[in-house]
Amino acid sequence: MSSQVMEKIENNVLVKDYLEDLPLSSSYEAAMEALSSLITRQKRGEKSSIGGKYEKLERMSMYLKILSLEEDILGLKIIHVAGTKGKGSTCTFCEAILRECGFRTGLFTSPHLIDVRERFRINGLEVTEEKFLHYFWDCWHKLEENITEDLPMPPLFQFLTVLAFKIFVSEQVDVAIFEVGLGGKTDSTNVIKEPVVCGITSLGMDHTETLGTTLGQIASHKAGIFKPKIPAFTVSQPSEAMDVIQERASELMVPLEVAPTLDHEKLEGLELSLSGDHQLINAGLAVSLCKCWLQRTGNWEKLFKNDSLEGELPEAFRRGLSSAYIAGRAQIARDTSSVSYTSSNVFESSCGDLIFYLDGAHSPESMEVCAKWFSSAINENENSLISSYKVENMNGTHFSKALFVPSMSAYNKVTSGASVIPLDISNKDLFWQYSLQRLWEKIIHGKEVDVVSDKGSRIDIARNLPREFLYEDASNCSPTDNQFACSAVMPSLPLTINWLRDCVKENPSLRLQVLVTGSLHLVGDVLKLLRR
């Protein structure tokens, strides 16, 4: 049925009545097919392949005009946040704080891990399927009716950004918090003309093929969200980045402040809900952004009367900071497939213990933060029974094995939490995974080592990885006959999860702690599998 829907979409035939008659699940999958048709095949750093004569932000304004949203979004009281690291966490903290202050909140973040609706949150909850479909098809049909050769359908992220404006306007949120997708200056969200306040999180080297090869160039893109005379906050930055941010602020007469890192004592015994010391930086920025938002919208005095902006944190702020939630960032998930329940509903492990530590770090700076968090998290569990091998460059973290696994996510398709998980691995290209394994083995051995070159042999070895691999003493790690005691390449993620589960099922004394990192898409795929 969804392929029939896609054929009609591709032929620009209106399918509104047909879709409204579909069962909810079918209509939702049809929406995913429609979204998938908006994915461009453009590679990073390449010139945009979108047709038409208009630039991205011009197109965004035209899409908003078609949907009669141009005037409406001026009424949204927006917090706009750019940055390299921590912008999702900062936005999530802001949403939780202002929700605890009693406001109806809208939060737009990216990417999603399991379901596209994660990107749109109303009062802390992802928008329901019914509401998503109502707003989605309304936007889709109106845009489809008005596309021309000069104004094609928007690519995926632009459509999702337009959809966020539609949802937040329709849901009449009191505050809308927008996380920049990529960069800032030319990002789709930068169609926002009059935010209440802007923020820039910690900057680092990321997306260099698009944003530039220096911190100054990257900072220039991020500071592109500044608007004349609109207050902005940032965190401590390297001087190369801070100089550019301050220069841009000066040009636009932007009141710019450096938000102080949150003093843990101000939480008065509570803990930040997001793990890692770096979250104190993000939380401090969120506090400054929320205080400014409350003050500029006339709500600070209403809520906190004569309380000083520089005084103690209001209780609502502390509640928000201790309850904010974002998946895939310093998240610990225990696999419940190995857990049974007694008659008194008390956990009882009938086999080993399998715990996943999930963090989507994918830049050098964020990977270092991830390493520190993981080291701290596992050091709290001193009774681990697995053997370990020390990797000196990872903050003293001990690993017994490394598994290199391709993600399930297809970059040409948007899926939902209920989408079928592909199991066909015969044609999976594992070149990147074997390249990473070669690098890992070089780190361990201090020299280049060969890996199996024949594709068929590689997949057979990985598919039939013996359980004994896990128990081999990694301290005596040495490659023999193209078998590696320190690492392995696995041909699929479902196979890897099942292999780990089988290992702990066979050994009741085993406590297996697995760090999943390097990609938010991979983290999302693991979470999707753990749910099933």
Helix 215-222, helix 239-251: angle, nearest 10: 40
191: left (phi over 0), alpha (psi -120 to 50) or beta: alpha
Using CA atoms, how far apart are residues 362 and 126, in angstroms rounded to an integer? 25
Q: What is the largest CA-CA distance in the chain?
A: 74
Q: pTM value? A: 0.84
Identity at 455, one-letter amino acid code: K
103 or 48, greater pLDDT: 103
Region(s) of the chain under CATH 3.40.1190.10 = 51-302+311-322
Q: Pick the closest to residue 318 from 117, 513, 101, 109 (CA basis).
A: 101
Q: Which residues contact 481 (CB under 8 A, 6 or more apart)?
A: none
The binding site for Mg(2+) consists of: 110, 179, 207
What are 429-452's pLDDT values in tens digits?
888 888 998 888 888 777 776 665
**pLDDT, position 459:** 56
Q: Pick the closest to residue 196 from 222, 227, 224 (CA basis).
A: 227
Using CA atoms, how far apart are residues 407 and 520, in angstroms rounded to an integer? 10
Any idea what DSSP says for residue 202? B
**pLDDT, position 476:** 58
**pLDDT, position 477:** 63
**pLDDT, position 21:** 54
> N- to C-terminal Cα distance for the chain?
25
Instruction: Write the DSSP assignment of 492-518 as a string of letters.
Output: -HHHHHHHHHHHHHH-TT-EEEEEEES
Mean pLDDT of 107-123: 94
CB 507 within 8 A of CB 352: yes
**pLDDT, position 394:** 47
**pLDDT, position 15:** 45
What are the angstrom distances between the C-alpha of 329 and each of 326, 373, 404, 501? 7, 10, 20, 23
Mean pLDDT of 2-25: 47
87: helix, strand or coil: helix
Helix 129-146, helix 56-66: angle, nearest 10: 110
What are the angstrom distances between the C-alpha of 168 and each of 104, 112, 165, 265, 335? 10, 18, 5, 35, 35
Angle subtended at Cα 76 by Cα 73 and Cα 80, rounded to the nearest 5 degrees? 100
Identity at 172, one-letter amino acid code: Q
Residue 529 burial (CB count, 10 A): 16
Site of tokens 């929320």 = 290
Which pair of structure tokens corresponds to residue 459? 């997949």
Mean pLDDT of the chain: 83
346 or 28, greater pLDDT: 28
User: Span 51-302+311-322: which CATH code?
Assistant: 3.40.1190.10
**pLDDT, position 4:** 41
Mean pLDDT of 289-294: 98
Q: Given the DSSP bridges, would you call strands 402-404 and 487-489 parallel, antiparallel or unpaired?
A: parallel
The binding site for ATP consists of: 329, 359
**pLDDT, position 382:** 52
**pLDDT, position 486:** 82
Using CA atoms, how far apart are residues 183 and 248, in angstroms rounded to an integer? 15
**pLDDT, position 2:** 41
20: helix, strand or coil: helix
Q: Which residues contact 68 (CB under 8 A, 6 or more apart)?
A: none
**pLDDT, position 393:** 44
What are 142-162's pLDDT values in tens digits?
999 999 989 999 999 999 999
Residue 452: HSE in the Cβ half-sphere, 13 Å Cα cutoff: 18
What are 330-384's pLDDT values in tens digits?
889 998 876 544 444 444 444 568 999 999 887 787 888 888 888 888 877 654 4
The binding site consists of: 110, 179, 207, 329, 359
Out of 41-50, 197-206, 316-325, 460-469, give the one with best mean pLDDT.
316-325
**pLDDT, position 475:** 59
> Among 22-31, 191-200, 390-399, whose mean pLDDT is lowest?
390-399
pLDDT confidence bin for 63, thresholds 50/70/90? very high
> Among 110-119, 220-229, 416-425, whose mean pLDDT is lowest?
416-425
Angle subtended at Cα 88 by Cα 85 and Cα 90, rounded to the nearest 5 degrees? 85
